[in-house]
Chain A
Amino acid sequence: MLLKPNVSVHNLNVFYGKDHVLHDVSVEIPNKKITVIIGPSGCGKTTLLKSFNRLIDSVDGVKVTGEVLVDGENIYDPKAEVTHIRKKMGLLSQRPYPLPMSIYDNVAYGPRLCGEKNKKKLDRIVEHFLHTASLWDEVKDKLNSPAARLSVGQQQRLCLARGLAVGPEIILGDEPTSALDPKSSKHIEERFMELKQYYTIILVTHILRQAKRLADYVLFLYMGRLIEHGPAKEIFENPKEKMTKEYIQGIIS
């Protein structure tokens, strides 16, 4: 059976004030795969990613037209409940931003917002997702110490656990390894490879080699336009567009 895609984008345009940042983007993101958005910096990768969970709402003077369907619901519908949409997605940003609280509270933050008060249940959730992010062994003895004390690599895995704890279907990653050392990056990449059997993963990266390692499906953005998209193999080995080819060969960047 063919699954309806979690995320599909129709004629999405985004303006920041007078700047037209995304031009008429339409694409279907495949389920339970890793989709990687590539393109030179400033091409609108992050904007596209953050339009999926409406984090661009907080930009001053932002205007959005077109629609983004998540599970068939247009998230830009004025009646849509934005917290509900965001709960469907976990976000990893370029640098990890642990919330100013303990490791435990970071992971329990989302579930608590949804009204989960049962201490035992919370304990179980925290332990489970710290395991999933393969952080449990490193932090199990200091769950109550401030999250900011962890190393950057650990913090990013904590952010992963925190994002998974709200029970999302989709994981969004905005160059999630760019602030990490090679070893921590590898750690995160391995998590993605494991998680893709359960989650739809959408990543932004400017590292082509990383894109090649991880991607099942690729979107190539240039100057706010979606130039080409398709299965990773096709895009990397046999791109249709000249611009995609030049980007992949490193002629434009």
Chain B
Amino acid sequence: MDKKNNIHVRRLEENIFKSLMVFSTGAIVLALALILWTVIRKGLPHLSLGMLTQAPKSGYYLGKDGGILNAILGSLYLTGGAALLAILVSLPVVLYLNVYLKKGSPLAYIARFSFDILWGIPSIVYGAFGFTIMLLFGVKSSLLGGMIAVTFLIFPIMSRSMDEVVRMVPGELMDASYALGATKLETAFKVVVRQALPGISTAVLISFGRGIGDAASLIFTAGFTDSLPTSLLAPAATLPLAIFFQFGTPMPEVQGRAYASALTLTLIILVISVAARLLTRKFTKHVV
């Protein structure tokens, strides 16, 4: 066999695949950058202070004055409430899994497994589920309804992300706390939570970012309104749905506002996501 020839063919194969890889990576990065670029280019000219500080006025959807403050506030309230509810459930559950249960406990395994599955459930299904709960309790489309659906949507994300960091808390630290006579409960909330706080905050931020961008779970549950949110039981506007509805109208003016709204929402999410990342980086710096 001709060695020189053989290595030629092998190198050629490698180079072909390498080019394919570079091309694939480039295509994905380019597509994602293109989305960002489209949103900025379309949205920036329509973005104004008035858009961010006013509720829609009459004739807004025909191109008249007003803004999307209703949706911004609605989204913040709704997602904020949902995040709070989710923390109230996630934190005790995660602490229980990691502090009270032994390593390899079947309950912990099943819980993590089920959270992973919940994570994969599409948001439209959470919307439909939230809707059935609302029917059961006689709640109409409202801020509260949306909050419930989004709570279910972000609960698994929050729990799993918290779980990842709480798991990292060294066992020696907990032992040291027990040795000082602390109970499990005290250890969990005073030692473990404090140690994992940056990671827990990151988990909350990630969940918030995911919740605030979701539309499909809200279609059934939150409704939509032009007025600012005032009551838990009244329908509430949200940014994703505001984008969806404004984008769907034929008026170029209103579509422009859809772009501006999309830019607003994207910026909120990017800021949250970058903040979460920085927090993690700072956190790991402290640990190492």
Whether chain B is bound by chain A comes out as: yes
Chain A positions within 8 Å of B6 at CB level: 114-115
Give complex CA distance A114, B6 in Å.
7
Beta-carbon nearest neighbor of B2 in chain A? A115
Give complex CA distance A115, B10 in Å.
10
Chain B positions within 8 Å of A116 at CB level: 1
In angstroms, how far is the closest chain B Cβ from the Cβ of A249? 37
For B, the interface residue count at a CB cutoff of 8 angstroms equals 5
Beta-carbon nearest neighbor of A113 in chain B? B10
Find out whether the CB atom of A83 lies under 8 angstroms from the CB atom of B1.
no
B7 within 8 Å of A by Cβ?
A: yes
Q: Which B residues between 1 and 23 are near A, CB-CB below 8 angstroms?
A: 1, 3, 6-7, 10
Give complex CA distance A81, B1 in Å.
17
In angstroms, how far is the closest chain B Cβ from the Cβ of A242? 37
Beta-carbon nearest neighbor of A81 in chain B? B7
Find out whether the CB atom of A84 lies under 8 angstroms from the CB atom of B7.
yes
In angstroms, how far is the closest chain A Cβ from the Cβ of B126? 40
Give complex CA distance A240, B86 in Å.
71
Give complex CA distance A116, B6 in Å.
10
B 248-279 to A, binary, CB cutoff 8 A, 1 in contact else 0: 00000000000000000000000000000000
Chain B positions within 8 Å of A84 at CB level: 3, 7
A 147-176 to B, binary, CB cutoff 8 A, 1 in contact else 0: 000000000000000000000000000000
Beta-carbon nearest neighbor of A87 in chain B? B3
Beta-carbon nearest neighbor of B1 in chain A? A115
In angstroms, how far is the closest chain B Cβ from the Cβ of A167? 11
In angstroms, how far is the closest chain A Cβ from the Cβ of B11? 9
Chain A positions within 8 Å of B3 at CB level: 84, 114
Give complex CA distance A83, B3 in Å.
11
Give complex CA distance A115, B9 in Å.
10
In angstroms, how far is the closest chain B Cβ from the Cβ of A54? 15
Chain B positions within 8 Å of A115 at CB level: 1, 6
Beta-carbon nearest neighbor of B6 in chain A? A115
In angstroms, how far is the closest chain A Cβ from the Cβ of B152? 41
Give complex CA distance A76, B167 in Å.
45
In angstroms, how far is the closest chain A Cβ from the Cβ of B142? 54
Give complex CA distance A114, B8 in Å.
11
Q: Which B residues between 150 and 206 are near A, CB-CB below 8 angstroms?
A: none
Give complex CA distance A137, B7 in Å.
35
Beta-carbon nearest neighbor of A117 in chain B? B1
Chain A positions within 8 Å of B10 at CB level: 83, 113
Give complex CA distance A113, B7 in Å.
9
Chain B positions within 8 Å of A81 at CB level: 7
Chain B CB count within 10 A is highest, among A81, A83, A115, for A115
Give complex CA distance A80, B3 in Å.
14
In angstroms, how far is the closest chain B Cβ from the Cβ of A94? 25
Give complex CA distance A114, B7 in Å.
8
Q: When A and B form their complex, which 6 residue pairs have the shortest distance between CB atoms, in order from nearest?
A: A115-B6, A115-B1, A81-B7, A83-B7, A114-B6, A114-B1
Residues of B at the A interface (CB closer than 8 Å) are 1, 3, 6-7, 10
Residues of A at the B interface (CB closer than 8 Å) are 81, 83-84, 113-116
Identify 10 new A-B residue pairs, CB closer than 8 A, beyond the known A81-B7, A114-B1. Answer: A83-B7, A83-B10, A84-B3, A84-B7, A113-B10, A114-B3, A114-B6, A115-B1, A115-B6, A116-B1
- What are 12 pairs between A and B in contact, CB < 8 Å? A81-B7, A83-B7, A83-B10, A84-B3, A84-B7, A113-B10, A114-B1, A114-B3, A114-B6, A115-B1, A115-B6, A116-B1
